[in-house]
């Protein structure tokens, strides 16, 4: 009985031991599998992170290439250029540009060889360079955007083709007209030859008759010739002396006339350059208080003031001294005075400009200082007076715009932006001259106070678009004359905008002005020889 009890006592222990061993094995296997899975997950995560970094790097490179193509084509912006320059992938873009440049070069060579076969006598003597497709000098580091993007090159090439086609068409017509004239002349010559042959047969008889009559006439006049000769010689001498005296008087009159014309022209140039078109301006208000960059002015809702209205600021004693004391020479980008002919271009020199931000009462508004070029010697102070010739208390003035207005000097015409800005400031824009249609948009009437003149196209030597530019120039001069005929005062942008506190670049280079005009030079119809379509104006 004792042994049986001992066996019964060990059986549970054996079972427990076996269960423990099995459990330990199972837990070990599960733990190993868990660690293996965790390691696999870490590897997968590391691989995914690497793939993500590779994808981001690839995306950045593709974005750099895309920016390069936008800038090369001509649809890129200044922000696109800054992103490409500062994005860290400019070298990738440079490699892509080099590949594009090589592709353009190869295509041009292929086209040159192919097209040369279509033009007899050209062979391979002409050259085509990739920089005629896109002109973008690229050094080791990216410094500047394209000088001439593809769109500008295509537009210029198309304009040249149209002008060349028009010239060829005209010359072909002239050649046909000359051919017709030649054929008509040949027919007349052949007829004259036949008439001459017929006349030659009768010539001896007619010569004899004419000789006989001549002899009779000589005999009849010989008697009177001797007496008339002396009288004739005296008359001819007197007439010759009178003619010589008349020539001398005429030459003297022409010299005087030319001298007077030169004096008038010089006087007009001096007046245009030196006379201030706003010399009778009176201040519209004054600054009543200042705190930091914020000022209060004595104009408000009762004066037709609204947010966005701008003023130029002058010293408090300007009304007594006169605005002519604030005239200064306009300085160019080279730091030297700008000249027109032999005269310096003068402009009003304000202390700075302000813009109304909130109307607080009938005669009280708050404004912020938008510019103060010399805050040490000419700080904006309480009591300073405000000017804006395009605005008056209770009612705004009316203006018209013509020419190119490049506000920021980027080679783009901003005339529609200027219209929006002036409207926001409370200035009524009656009309602006649309250079695409060569027509006024709106109407210039006797109620228009100022016609503001922007930039005209700049002519350069050997310019292939000189004919088109001359047509645009004449259209703008016609627009100016129409404004004057309506009694509107014509002022230049350089005189007008500083007076109203509107900030605009006044030192735009001729090349930049011409770039702004390029889009308008493509609107000429084929065969027009520079005559703009629809050149009439809608102004009355």
DSSP per residue, 220-261: HHHHHHHHHHHHHHHHHHHHHHHHHHHHHHHHHHHHHHHHHH
The residue-averaged pLDDT of 460-486 equals: 84
pLDDT for residue 514 is more than 80: yes
Residue 471, pLDDT score: 86
Contact 329, 337 (CB under 8 A): yes
Between the ranges 20-29, 226-235, 244-253, 497-506, where is the mean pLDDT highest?
Answer: 20-29
Query: Quick one: pLDDT band at residue 288, thresholds 50, 70, 90?
Result: very high
Q: Which residue has the higher pLDDT, 251 or 351?
A: 351
- pLDDT the model gives residue 278: 54
Query: Strand, helix or coil at 49?
Result: helix
Cα–Cα distance for residue pair 13/428, rounded to 1 Å: 107
Angle ∠(275,280,284) on CA atoms, nearest 5: 135
Residue 306 is inside which H or E element, if any?
Answer: none
**Segment 529-540 mean pLDDT:** 40
Radius of gyration in angstroms for the set of CA atoms belonging to the chain, rounded to a whole number = 44
* CA angle (297, 503, 273) in 5-degree steps: 105
Structure tokens at 338: 């700008």
- Does residue 269 register a pLDDT over 60? no
Is residue 501 a contact partner of residue 310, using CB atoms and an 8 Å limit?
A: yes
Task: Reply yes or no on whether the pLDDT at 331 is more than 80.
Answer: no
Work out the percent of the chain whose per-residue pLDDT is above 70.
82
Using the structure block, give the residue that is written with the tokens 């005929």: 485
Which DSSP letter does residue 357 get? E
| CATH for the stretch 280-388 | 2.40.10.410
User: CA distances (Å), 530 to each of 160, 173, 475, 521, 536, in order?
Assistant: 12, 18, 11, 9, 15
Contact between 455 and 403 (Cβ < 8 Å): yes
Tell me what pLDDT residue 538 has: 44
Residue predicted with more confidence, 187 or 391? 187
Which helix (H) or strand (E) segment is 398 a member of?
strand 398-402
pLDDT at 524: 46
Cβ atoms of 286 and 311 closer than 8 Å: no
Region of 443 on the Ramachandran plot (φ > 0 left; ψ -120 to 50 alpha; else beta): beta
Instruction: Judge contact between 344 and 272, C-beta under 8 A.
Output: no
**DSSP code of residue 190:** H
Furthest CA-CA distance within the chain: 202
Q: How confident is the model at residue 388 (pLDDT cuts 50, 70, 90)?
A: confident
Q: Name the strand (E) or helix (H) holding 432.
A: strand 428-434
531 falls in which pLDDT band (50, 70, 90)? Answer: very low
* 315 has a pLDDT exceeding 90: yes
Binned at pLDDT 50, 70 and 90, residue 424 comes out as confident
What is the three-class DSSP state of 242?
Answer: helix
Between CA 24 and CA 261 the distance in angstroms is 119
CA distances in angstroms from 440 to 260, 400, 529, 534, listed in the order given: 36, 9, 22, 11
46 or 264, greater pLDDT: 46
Q: At what angle do helices 510-521 and 466-485 cross, to 10 degrees?
A: 90
Strand, coil or helix: 277: coil
d(CA 14, CA 359): 98
Rounded to an integer, what distance in angstroms lies between the CA atom of residue 489 and that of residue 216?
79
| % pLDDT > 90, the chain | 12
The confidence score (pLDDT) of residue 159 equals 83
Burial class (CB in 10 A: 0-12, 13-18, 19+), 370: middle
**Would you list the domain boundaries of the chain?**
61-148, 280-388, 390-540
Average pLDDT over residues 390-403: 78
- Using DSSP's 3-state secondary structure scheme, residue 315 falls into coil
**Residue closest to 445 by CA, chosen among 402, 397, 395, 486:** 486
What are the counts of helices (DSSP H) followed by strands (DSSP E) for the chain?
A: 9, 17
- Stretch among 161-175, 193-207, 248-262, 459-473 having the lowest mean pLDDT: 248-262
State the pLDDT at residue 408. 86
Q: Among 26-30, 172-176, 448-452, whose mean pLDDT is lowest?
A: 26-30
Compute the distance between CA of residue 389 and CA of residue 283 in angstroms, rounded to an integer. 9
By the 8 A CB rule, do 458 and 518 touch? no
Lowest mean pLDDT, pick from 47-61, 366-380, 407-421, 434-448: 47-61
Residue positions counted in the chain = 540
241 CB-contact burial (10 Å; exposed 0-12 / middle 13-18 / buried 19+):
exposed
By the 8 A CB rule, do 445 and 458 touch?
no
Query: What are 419's two structure tokens?
Result: 């219209």
Dist. CA 470–CA 484, nearest whole Å: 21
For residue 267, pLDDT over 70 is answered with no
pLDDT on residue 393: 66
Predicted confidence (pLDDT) at residue 286 exceeds the cutoff of 70: yes
The model scores a pTM over 0.85: no
Rounded CA separation 354/358 (Å): 12
Residues 357 and 459: their CA atoms lie apart, in Å, by: 43
Per DSSP (E only), the strands in 232-344 are 285-291, 294-297, 310-314, 327-329, 339-340, 343-344
Q: Which of 177-191, 341-355, 410-424 has the lowest mean pLDDT?
A: 341-355
If one compares 376 and 131, the residue with the highest pLDDT of the two is 376
- Asked which of 251-255, 314-318, 456-460 is least confident by mean pLDDT, the reply is 251-255
- The least confident of 19-28, 175-184, 530-539 is 530-539
Closest CA to 499 of 337, 358, 313, 364: 313
Q: Determine how many CB atoms are found less than 10 A away from the CB of residue 282.
A: 10
Average pLDDT over residues 81-94: 81
Question: What Å distances lie between residue 368 and 292, 380, 392, CA to CA?
Answer: 9, 11, 20
The mean per-residue pLDDT over the stretch 303-320 comes to 86
pLDDT at 529: 41
| Mean pLDDT, the chain, whole residue set | 78
User: What mean pLDDT comes out for the span 117-125?
Assistant: 60
Task: Give φ, ψ of 327 to 5 degrees.
Answer: -75, 135
* 519 φ, ψ (degrees, to nearest 5): -65, -30
pLDDT in the model for residue 140? 76
Does the structure show a pLDDT above 90 at 110? no
């Amino acid at each position: 009985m004792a042994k049986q009890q001992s066996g019964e006592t060990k059986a549970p222990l054996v079972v427990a031991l076996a269960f423990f061993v099995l459990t330990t094995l199972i837990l070990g296997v599960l733990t190993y599998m868990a660690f293996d899975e965790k390691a696999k997950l870490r590897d997968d995560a590391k691989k995914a992170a690497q793939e993500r970094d590779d994808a981001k790097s690839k995306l950045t490179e593709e974005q750099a290439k895309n920016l390069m193509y936008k800038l090369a084509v001509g649809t890129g912006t200044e922000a696109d250029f800054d992103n490409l320059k500062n994005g860290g992938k400019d070298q990738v873009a440079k490699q892509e540009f080099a590949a594009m440049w090589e592709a353009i070069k190869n295509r041009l060579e292929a086209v040159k060889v192919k097209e040369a076969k279509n033009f007899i006598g050209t062979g391979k003597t002409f050259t085509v360079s990739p920089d005629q497709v896109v002109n973008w000098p690229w050094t080791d580091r990216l410094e500047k955007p394209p000088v001439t993007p593809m769109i500008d090159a295509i537009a210029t090439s198309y304009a040249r083709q149209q002008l060349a086609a028009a010239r060829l068409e005209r010359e072909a017509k002239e050649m046909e007209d000359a051919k017709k004239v030649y054929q008509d002349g040949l027919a007349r010559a052949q007829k004259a030859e036949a008439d001459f042959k017929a006349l030659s047969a009768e010539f001896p008889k007619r010569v004899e008759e004419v000789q006989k009559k001549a002899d009779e006439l000589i005999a009849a006049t010989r008697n009177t010739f001797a007496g008339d000769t002396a009288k004739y010689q005296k008359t001819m001498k007197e007439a010759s002396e009178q003619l010589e005296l008349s020539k001398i008087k005429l030459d003297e009159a022409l010299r005087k006339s030319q001298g007077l014309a030169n004096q008038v022209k010089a006087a007009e140039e001096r007046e245009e350059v030196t006379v201030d078109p706003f010399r009778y301006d009176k201040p519209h208000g004054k600054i009543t208080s200042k705190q930091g960059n914020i000022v209060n002015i004595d104009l408000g809702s009762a004066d037709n003031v609204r947010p966005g209205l701008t003023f130029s600021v002058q010293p408090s004693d300007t009304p007594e001294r006169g605005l002519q004391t604030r005239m200064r020479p306009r300085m160019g980008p080279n730091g030297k005075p700008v000249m027109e002919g032999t005269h310096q271009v003068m402009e009003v020199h304000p202390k700075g400009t302000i813009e109304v931000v909130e109307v607080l009462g009938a005669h009280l508004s708050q404004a912020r200082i938008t510019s103060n070029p010399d805050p040490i010697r000419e700080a904006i102070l309480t009591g300073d007076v405000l000017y804006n010739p395009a605005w008056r208390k209770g009612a705004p003035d009316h203006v018209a715009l013509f020419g190119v207005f490049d506000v920021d000097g980027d080679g783009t015409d901003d005339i529609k932006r200027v219209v929006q800005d002036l409207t926001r400031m409370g200035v009524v824009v009656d009309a602006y001259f649309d250079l695409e249609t060569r027509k006024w948009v709106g109407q210039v009437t006797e109620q228009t106070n100022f016609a503001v003149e922007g930039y005209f196209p700049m002519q350069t030597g050997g310019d292939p678009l000189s004919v088109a530019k001359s047509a645009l120039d004449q259209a703008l001069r016609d627009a100016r004359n129409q404004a004057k005929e309506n009694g509107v005062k014509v002022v230049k942008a350089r005189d007008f905008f500083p007076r109203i506190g509107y900030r605009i670049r006044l030192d735009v280079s001729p090349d930049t002005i011409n770039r702004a005009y390029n889009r308008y030079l493509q609107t000429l119809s084929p065969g027009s020889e520079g005559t703009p379509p629809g050149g009439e104006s809608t102004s009355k």
